[in-house]
Amino acid sequence: MHTPHLPGQPHIAYHDGELFVEEANLSALAQQHGTPLFVYSKASMLAALAAYQRGFAGRQVQICYAMKANSSLAIIALFAQAGCGFDVVSLGELTRVLRAGGLASRTIFSGVGKTRPEMQAALQAGIGCFNVESEAELEVLNEVALGLGLQAPVSIRVNPNVDPQTHPYISTGLKGNKFGIAHERVVQTYQRAAALPGLRVMGIDCHIGSQITQESPYLDAMDRMLDLVEAIEVAGVPIRHIDLGGGLGINYNGETPPEADALWCQLLAKLDARGFGQRALMVEPGRSLVGNAGLCVTEVLYLKPGEQKNFCIIDAAMNDLPRPAMYQAFHQIVPLQPRTTAPDTWEVVGPICESGDWIGHDRPLSVAQGDLLAVLSAGAYCMSMASNYNTRNRAAEVLVDGSLAHLIRARESYADQMRLEHLIG
C-alpha cells in the first residue's frame, strides 16, 4: 500500500506503514548506521536543480551552489557532476570544492571577512570571481593580487536596501545588515575598483537574504540592480555579469515559495524588458537545492509527562539540528512507523543541558519509548552548522540513490574530537 508523499517532500513517502527515502527503508538505515542519522535523497537534489536549469534554458547562466547550506563532500561532488559552479565563503569551503572535483574557475568567493591568506590561496587556485563586500576589502585584495603578480577578478556586492520579508538573522540586503556596499556608494566604488591595477571588474552581485517565499523582493532587487548597472556603465565601467544571489525558500510548514523556474521566468522577463536579456547571469542557490532533500532520523529516549508540558526526549539535539534554537525554526516531525493510537501533545527536546535545546514545540504525536522519528527538511543548515557541544559526536550521513544507500560521512568518534588536543605537564 502506498500513501501520498509528505508535503514538500516528493521523494519521501510511506510504503506499507514504513517511511522511505526513495527506495530506502529508513528504519533499516537507522538499524545499520545508528541515530541521529542524516539521510539525503539524490533524486530530490537533482530535481530541485532541474527547476533552475529549466528556468534558464537558452540563457547564459552559471548556477553556483551556495555550499554553506550543506558542505558534505559527496553533495558537492553531486552538484559538480551536474554542471554547477560554487559559491564559497571561506578557504575551507574552497578546499572542499577542489577536493570534491569542483573547479576554482567556476567558483565565486563571497563573505565580508576574507583574510589575506584566503585571498592568496584563492588567486593561486584560479578563482572565478571575488564578491567584494567593502571598500576596504578592495584595497587589500588589490595589494594581495599585485604581490602575486596577478589580477583579481571582482564583482562588488551591493546592498539594495530591499526587505526580503524573512527572519532578521537571515536578512542580508537591508541598510542595517553587515553585507555589501551601500546603494549610494556603489558607483564611486566601481570607479575605484576599475582604477586599481590589481583588480579586473567582472560583474555586480546582490544577495538579499534566505528563506524568501515571495517574488516581490526579488523583482524589487532586480530593478535596483539594473538601475545601478546603468549608472555604473554610464560612469565608464563595463559590467560583464549580473549575479542575483540565492535565498529562495522551501516548504517547512506550509510555505508556498515560487518554483525556481516560475520565479526566473518573471525575473528574465524583467531583464528582457529592460534590455539586459543577453547579459551573462549568475545565481547562488543553496537551501532550495538541498533543504527538502534531507531528514534526520532520531530515537525517542524517554517520555516525560508533566503538569504543564509533556516532554518527548530524543537523541538528536541542538548540536545536530541548530535551526530551531538559533532561528526559532519549524521542522515537521513524523514517525517512521505511524501508530494508530490517538496522539498526545509533546515538546520534542534533545539531551543537551540547555533549555533552548528543543526541536519542536507542541507537536501532536503518538509515540512510545524506542520509536524512531524523522525531522524533515533537514538538508540545509543542519550538518553544516553542527557542533560538538556537550562533547557530542556529529552524526553520520547517508546519500540515497534509488535503492542504494551510500554512507558519505561516518559517525564521529570521541577520538576524532580529541585528536588535535594536548595535555600538559
Cα 46 to Cα 75, 83, 100, 290, distances in angstroms: 11, 11, 17, 9
* Residue 50 domain-assigned (yes or no): no
* Residue 60 domain-assigned (yes or no): no
Q: Which residues contact 273 (CB under 8 A, 6 or more apart)?
A: none
CATH of residue 316: 2.40.37.10
260-273 vs 216-234: helix crossing angle, rounded to 10 = 30
Q: With residue 204 as reference, give the H or E element that holds it.
A: strand 199-205
Which pLDDT tens digit goes with each residue over 101-141? 999 999 999 999 999 999 999 999 999 999 999 999 999 99
**Is 206 among the residues known to form the active site?**
no
For cell 496522539, the residue is 343
pLDDT at 162: 67
pTM for this predicted structure:
0.93
* Residue 143 domain-assigned (yes or no): yes
State how many domains the chain has.
2
* Residue 82 domain-assigned (yes or no): no
Could you give the dihedral angle defined by the CA atoms of residues 142, 147, 153 and 157, in that order, rounded to the nearest 10 degrees?
-30
Residues of the chain with pLDDT under 50: 1-3, 164, 166-175
DSSP state for residue 389 in the 8-state scheme = G
* Domain C-terminal end among 258, 285, 312: 285
116-125 vs 135-148: helix crossing angle, rounded to 10 = 50
Instruction: Give yes or no: residues 280 and 295 share one domain.
Output: no
Give residue 320's domain range.
2-41+291-418
Using CA atoms, how far apart are residues 163 and 398, in angstroms rounded to an integer?
37
DSSP string for 91-136: HHHHHHHHHTT--GGGEEE--TT--HHHHHHHHHHT-SEEEE-SHH
Residue 324: name the closest of 290, 293, 347, 297 by CA: 347
* Residue 174 domain-assigned (yes or no): yes
Using CA atoms, how far apart are residues 84 and 317, in angstroms rounded to an integer?
32
Using CA atoms, how far apart are residues 11 and 113, in angstroms rounded to an integer?
38
pLDDT at 318: 97
248 contacts 260 by C-beta, under 8 angstroms: yes
Q: Which of 64, 265, 296, 353 is catalytic?
A: 353
pLDDT at 324: 96
Q: 318 — alpha (psi -120 to 50), left (phi > 0) or beta?
A: alpha
